[in-house]
Each structure stands twice: as C-alpha cells, then as structure tokens.
Structure 1
Amino acid sequence: MTEADEARTRILEKAEQFFLTHGYSRVTMDDLATELRMSKKTLYRHFSSKEALGEVVIETGLARLGAALQAIVEDERVEFGVRLETFVRTLAGRYARSATLLRDLQRDAPTLWQKLMELRRESVQARFGAFLAAGVKAGALRADVEPRLVVRMMLTLVDQLLRPDVLEELEITAEQLYPRLLGVILDGIRVKPERPPPPARKPRGTRA
C-alpha cells in the first residue's frame, strides 16, 4: 500500500466514524483535517469536497455490508433458518448504528441520500430477495411468500423503528427491539412444522 493509499484509508475511516457519530451535516472538512492532524490542502487532494468524501464513505460501507451478507447467504453449512436470522440481525445492526447518519442524509443531503438508496437496492435488497426465494424453493419458507414484498416490509420496519428517537420514545434498546422485530417478520413466513394428530379417544367403557 502506498503512502497515498494509507492516507486515503485513514481519511475514510475517520470520516465514517464521524458521520456515524455526529451525522453528516455537523461534520466539516476542518473537523476531519484537525482530527487527522492533516492539512486541509492534503485532505482536499484526496477528496475534492465533503460530498465526494461522503459518497465514497457510503460506497465502501455498503460494499462491506454486502460482502458480509453474501458470506452469510453462501454458507450452506449453516441451516437456512439460522442464516436467515443472522442475515437480518446483521442488517438491523448496521441500520441501528447508522440511524443518525441516515436521518441526516435524508434531510440535508438529498443527492447522497439518493445514492445511498440506489446502492442499498444493489447490495441489500437483491441479496435478501434472492435469499428468501431460495428459502421458498428449499421449503423452509411458505410457498406464497413474495420475496420483494418481504424485503420492503423488513427495510421499512428497520428504517422506522431502529432510530434513536423512536427507541427513546419506546424506552427500549435496539438489542431489545430486534428479537421482536425479527419475530414479526420471520415467524410469519417460516413453514410451520406439522403437529402430530391428537390421539384418538377410546369409547367410554372400553378397557385399555
């Protein structure tokens, strides 16, 4: 790795940390240069603007998430139901950590928000939809499950519930909310094991 590559990596790591902690709009290039002990000139040599930096942070973060999700999908040594729960837990955890940034981008940086939505469709929705379709084919999920609908339902619930303001209002943590959210979706689409029929009642007066 060259010195320029190392500097770029340091900038991206610090920018992601700052954006996740403080949101996008509150972070300035001055803040990053000061924290990195780097001149603004050097910072701008790697990224021409804060928006350009934000775009790369979004791209690298979602690429990392996509790789993690793909690894879960492809690990067929693990039972499908366990992989599905791990997939959703990974996705929900990412959204919980990114809630402040997501809210900020949607409100103050519409161009980056649109970029995020496009990349999310590519890295998350396509993988999740294909994974659910495979579950239907394998008989682990109900045959009438429409993967695209389930994906939209899950993402909508994650976006609306795993946010700091909502969690505070509900007086619950993301870790406490997650199992309930997971149960609402997954328990509704899993194939339920067949229950054995109840034992036949013997007519009255019949001896055992």
Structure 2
Amino acid sequence: MKERGDTIIGEGTIKFGIEYRDLLHDQGVCIHVLGDVSEDDEHELLRFDCFDHEPHYHYGPQQLNERLMLDKTTAGDSLDWTLGNIRSRLPDMIDRARYPELAEAARGADLSAEMDELESQARALAVAGRRTVMHDRGDVILEAGPVRFGVEFRTLANDRGVAIHVLGDIGDEEQELLTFDCFEVAPHYHYGPRAKNQRLYLDMTTTPDPLGWAL
C-alpha cells in the first residue's frame, strides 16, 4: 500500500511527502519520495523513517521494499543524514529503487526549492510532533540516594495497576527517568517519558506478573 504523508511538497514529477509517526516504541519524522509513473499512477519511490531508536529507509516500498537500517554511531542524526542524501544522492537512490526513468527525471529537474521547503518543514515537525507524557510523581516517595521512587495505584478507563516512577534531579529540576505501569491488561514501561518516551509493552504470557518483573 502506498503511503504519501500528511503534507505534500512540490507539484512536479518528483514530490515529497512528510508526516510524524508515533509507534509508541519509536517515533520520528517520516519522509516519502513520490514519483509519477504515469499521469494517474503515483508511486512511493523511497521512504525514510527518521526514528529515535531504529531509524531506517526503504528502496521502492511498494514493490522492491528493500529496507536498510541506519547505524546511529556512524550516520549520526537520522534526519540530518536523510536530508543530506536527498540533496546529494536522490537520483541514484531512485535508480536503485528500480525507477530508472524517474531517476533521470530527478537528475534533470531543479528540486532545490522543494528540498529547502522539505528541510524547513521536517526540522519544524521533528520538534512540534514529538510525543511525550507527563505522569504524576506518585503518592508515596521513597528516597534512594541519587534517585527516588514514586509509587501509586493508577485506575484508567480500561486498565489499572501499580505504577512505579523512577525520578532524578537534572540541575534544579526533577525529571521522570523511567516509569513502570504494572497494569492488569496492558502492562508496559517507559524510557524517558518526558523526553524520548519509548514505550514497550510486556507479553503477559511470558511475563504474567508485571509488578514482580519490574521489581
């Protein structure tokens, strides 16, 4: 299935789509490179998922769908890497996605204005789109040296259970570093709830006691 993003940049044969994707366990800006195979047949040529934890990109998502992971150690920031490669290697990447005619179209087109707009919108969306969560710190606070633990019982519309917050001071401000929601139906935990907010769910078959696992 073709994906094209929430905002489309450009009106020519080659266009860009952009959106922010939140998968709970990962999040980030997603950039789609779109091309008109014919007058009424648009294909997604490339897709760049500039995620926090598992950034990757796709050659020919609709047909070839070759997915390559980015090594954050060598590539650095995935959005910077993506924007740089779109500017410098777009025709070659489209060619590898098995769209040679559209690769030639990209070589012959002046896409500098579209690329400038793409970069501006992508960088703004990376900030505006970020999903974080603000929990209460707990009803009972236990001091433990450089960190403290907040404990409470949370009751939601469709779930409930003990929540454990790991708190620490960064400068003069208390931050929630980790949270363990030991719920009855969908137990999960958060890395950096107020920052990157990576949320991971537990398998109740292999982990039937979420509270025991957290402790």
Pairwise TM-score range, normalised by the shorter structure: under 0.3
Using CA pairs under 8 Å that are at least 6 residues apart, name the structure with larger relative contact order, 1 or 2.
1
Structure showing the higher helix proportion among its residues: 1
Give TM-score, length-normalised by structure 1: 0.25
Larger radius of gyration: 1
Structure showing the higher strand proportion among its residues: 2
